[in-house]
Structure 1
Amino acid sequence: MFSPEHQAFEESVATLARREFHDGYLARATSDDMCWPELAQLGRHGLLGLSLPEDAGGQGADPVTVGIACEQMAKADFNLSYLIFATVLAQGVLTGLPEPVARPIVRAVTAGEQLLALALTEPRGGSDASATSVRARPVPGGYLLSGEKTSVTLGMHAAHAIVVATCDPDAGSRGTRRLLVALDDPTVTRQRIADPGFRPLSRAGLTFDDTFVPAEHEIAGTGSGLAALLADFDLTRTLLGLMVVGAARRAMEATIEWVRDREAFGSPIARFQGVSFNLAEHDTQLEAARWLCYRTLGLRAAGLPHTREAAMCKWWAPRVAVQAINDCIVLHGHVGWSTEMPLQQLLLDVSGVQIGDGTPQIQKLVIARQLIGRRYVG
């Protein structure tokens, strides 16, 4: 159960999200324009960088609070919830870079003036993060970065990207580094990827042509750059689970209203068990997925292991959400097929989360390694 403070925060974010952002979702979601005014509004309401300390523009919030913000915003606008989610990256910048470098960037992010992106995936390898080929060659004063990243969410709009690169390809994960790269550098080329969802956020390919990265822009962390990044996945995978649940709840609420009003054979279609039982099943599964996510965040807040649970959230919650939204479309009949309603766009936006931050196959491998043992499952 939530604490009284969590309950009050949930109510305040839900009220704000519905009042300010709910009705504009479809117009924003079907536009390729970044929603800068709404991002600034999120910053003014203190919803960006929630877990950061107050002197850095955050609220010092615990993981459960961050999850609440992501879930409740996703009920109104899935893409805006992603903008809240993406500010989790600012924590690594704040703790891993010298203060004079980090503070101005983090402040701009929490104010909704700039965006941070993560550049991890490469054209020839998605799930195998240890096989990165983007090269960071040490030179006096820093590194020269060369190579290509792809599937970088926010890549067309971000001011900086955290780029995972290798200093020694033969060293595997031990050779990786995390570098904060300014994307307005003339040696960086951006190319937008055409997607059906995440449209205002953008997804891009980034090419680095001997891009100079100062040594003070290397993000420090425990172990290799990749090890520190993988530790963050336990949080981001769980937050994504809550975001898709929130989006599916929006579809469910619209469908419940629809089946009460829509009549067939002389009565509301809600009277037919083929309709009501379907919604009851999705309600059960969404509620179970939701509390799995919050349990995982509770483990994180308590400093307890939660990698297995985070992987469960990441493979299962998106599947549950996609199925629920798809059935909501079907229950709307021919109206649900129309792009004049938000249901189709919700499905497109949420479906991409099945892939980002690790596919279902990768999540099941993570679970199996902890459940059975790595030496048995590889």
Structure 2
Amino acid sequence: MTDQTELDDFRETVRALARNTFMDGYLSRAKSECYPYDTLRTLGRNGLLGLCIPEEMGGQGAGLQALGIACEEISYADNACGYQVFATNVTANLLTRFATQEVRERWLQPVMDGDVVAAIALTEPDTGSDAQALSTKATRVDGGWELSGEKTSITQAPDATVSIVVARSSESDRISAFVVPMDQSGISRQRFEDPGFRPVGRGSLVLDSVFVPESHLLGNDGEGFSLIMKEFDLTRTLIALMAVGIAQRAIDLTIEHAKNRTTFGKPLSHYQGVTFPIAEHLTYLRAIRALAASALQAPGQDRPSTVDAAMLKWWAPQVAFQAVQDCIVLHGHLGWSEELPLQALLRDVAGFQIGDGTPQIQKLIIARHAIGPEVMDR
């Protein structure tokens, strides 16, 4: 799906689904720790969990731009549902490209149907952005591997059915990735108490000699780090678009408020102190969308997008956070209330500033590209 008319039609279809199906329930779900299995299945039934998977493999064959649209439009209605689109599509892409036929036959279709919850377990307690320093061990045993270690800050970990776990191989001393069913013995979990993203949850996984067969190695031994790192160009871009969706909803709420609220005998929209911030934030969101579109087009044009993705990842969450914060202030006392979704939107978007790499990490990537690692690493 590359034709602009097709993409526009797709956006309208997803927008209608999101706003008619998910938007009204957002605030109640945002306050809950109950995983929204029903929304995941609805997304699957509507073909939004395998957007980039070839049609002959059960997916939509729609491409990365369609995935970006889906992440933005679904996040506008409910960011937890947007994360379901994001995480499930990334998992489906990894399974399609790197999993064995046995694993694809077992997991790919259920993932795309929304019948299972998928997580990617990379981060560890002592290794955040320094993923190469991870210590979870994958030890070769008869018939496969045993995994031992702790993963933390894993979104969807409390409810995951299957996880892609990244660990250091005993054979290569390099990082490998494994598809791990979460009903295996030796796995324990902990849910974190977070201010946002509550329905999808974040937590830790402890693996104690968890066996996975040889067939569940993702790619080849020692390739796990590179295949996960390559996904960051996509995931950071999608996070930017999810943040845009949240900010756009806050702005739309504020526009309606400014048109309908009267003060000193005039609507709020009469005052430049109200309208100018809205104009500024709409400009920033338009710029983020344009940069994200370029980043999503890059693989098909055989050009890199790492710098674009890093720019998006540090900038978009900050822009979105400030937009929601300004919208809260422009609502006055109504904004300081749980009756409107603005406080929940602010909590949700705040987490995007950390996940998939902090702003400092993204700026380092950009600076190293501009200045040269040979200079910066002296």
Using the size of structure 1 for normalisation, the TM-score is 0.96
Show CA shifts across 1:176-220 (max 9, x none): 000111111120001101101111101010000111111111100
Match of 1:127 in 2: 129
Structure 2 distance, partners of 1:63, 1:77, is 21
AA at the equivalent of 2:277 = N
Consecutive unaligned residues of structure 1, counting only runs of 5 or more, are none
Q: In the aligned structure 2, how far is the partner of 1:141 from the partner of 1:14?
A: 47
| 1:2 Cα deviation from its structure 2 partner | 6.5
Aligned to 1:54: 55
Q: Residue in 2 aligned with 1:106? A: 108
Equivalent pairs, count: 375
Q: What CA distance in whole angstroms lies between the structure 1 residues aligned with 2:99 and 2:282?
A: 44
Q: Which deviates the most, 90-99 or 352-361? A: 90-99
1:243-282 CA-to-partner distances (Å, cap 9, x unmatched) read 1001100000000000111111111111111111111111
| Structure 2 match to 1:65 | 66
CA distance in 1, matches of 2:110, 2:214: 22
Q: Residues 111-260 of structure 1: matches in 2 within 5 Å?
A: 111-168=113-170, 175-220=174-219, 224-260=223-259
Q: What is the CA deviation profile of residues 101-124 of structure 1, one whole-angstrom value per residue up to 9, with x for unaligned ones?
A: 222211111111001100011011
**Would the alpha carbon gap of residues 115 and 247 (structure 1) be closer, same or farther in structure 2, given more than 3 Å must change?**
same
Deviations 1:30-68 (A, max 9, x none): 111111111111111101121011233211121111101
1:312 and 2:311 aligned: yes
Deviation, 1:335, is 0.7
Within 5 Å, give how 1:271-310 maps onto structure 2. 271-310=270-309
Would you say the 8 A contact 1:117–1:154 is kept in 2? yes
Aligned to 1:104, the other structure's residue is in SS state: helix
- Whether contact under 8 Å (1:117, 1:152) holds in the other structure is yes
Task: Give me the whole-angstrom Cα distance separating, in 2, the residues matched to 1:262 and 1:153.
Answer: 39
User: Aligned partner of 1:121: which letter?
Assistant: T
For residues 300 and 98 of structure 1, the distance between their equivalents in structure 2, rounded to whole angstroms, comes to 24
One-letter code aligned to 2:182:
L
Q: What letter corresponds to residue 158 of structure 2 in structure 1?
A: M
CA 1:222–1:320 in 2, change beyond 3 Å: closer, same or farther? farther
Contact residue 174 and residue 222 of structure 2 kept, 8 A? no
Aligned counterparts of 1:253 and 1:229: Cα–Cα separation in 2: 36
**Equivalent position of 1:18 in the other structure:** 19
Per the alignment, residue 44 of structure 1 pairs with 45
| Letter of the 2:271 counterpart | F
Letter in 1 for 2:59: G
Larger mean CA deviation between 40-49 and 1-10 belongs to 1-10
* Residue 32 in structure 1 maps to residue 28 in structure 2: no
Please give the secondary structure, in 2, of the residue aligned with 1:177: strand
For 2:209, what is the secondary structure of its paired residue?
Answer: strand
User: What is the distance in 1 between the residues matched to 2:45 and 2:74?
Assistant: 15
Assess if the C-alpha contact under 8 Å between 2:169 and 2:222 holds in 1.
no
Structure 1 residues 350 and 95 mapped into 2: Cα distance closer, same or farther (>3 Å)?
same
Residues of 2 paired with 1:349 and 1:336: CA distance? 16
Q: 1:231 to 1:135 in 2, by over 3 A?
A: same
Give the C-alpha shift of residue 85 in structure 1: 0.6
Q: What root-mean-square deviation, in Å, do the aligned CA atoms of Structure 1 and Structure 2 show?
A: 1.5
Partner SS state of residue 71, structure 1: helix
The 8 Å contact of residues 62 and 301 in structure 1, kept in 2 or not, is answered as no
Letter in 2 for 1:295: S
- Unaligned runs of 5+ residues in structure 2 are none
1:336 partnered with 2:338 = no
Contact 2:140–2:170 (CA<8 Å) still a contact in 1? no
Task: Give, in angstroms, the shift of residue 222 of structure 1.
Answer: 9.9
> Alpha-carbon deviation of 1:223?
6.6
Aligned-residue sequence identity (percent) comes to 48
Give the superposition deviation at 1:168. Answer: 4.9
Q: CA contact under 8 A between 1:90 and 1:116: conserved in structure 2?
A: no
SS at match of 1:143: strand
Residue identity matched to 2:159: H
Distance in 1 (alpha carbons) for counterparts of 2:58 and 2:242: 23
- How far apart are the structure 2 equivalents of 1:222 and 1:9? 39
User: CA distance change for structure 1 residues 181 and 188 in 2, over 3 Å: closer, same or farther?
Assistant: same
For residues 6 and 148 of structure 1, what CA distance do their matches in structure 2 show?
41
Separation in structure 1 between the aligned mates of residue 235 and residue 65 of structure 2, nearest angstrom: 12
Structure 1 residue 9 and structure 2 residue 10: aligned? yes
**Matched-pair contact (CA < 8 Å) for 1:149–1:207:** yes
Who is 1:374 aligned against? Answer: 373
Partner-residue secondary structure (3-state), 2:158: coil
CA contact (8 A) 1:57 1:111 kept: no
Deviations 1:280-314 (CA, angstroms, capped at 9, x unpaired): 11111111111111111111232211111011111
- Contact 1:325–1:347 under 8 Å retained in 2: yes
Corresponding residue to 2:99 among 93, 97, 100: 97
> How far apart, in 2, do the equivalents of 1:222 and 1:315 lie?
32
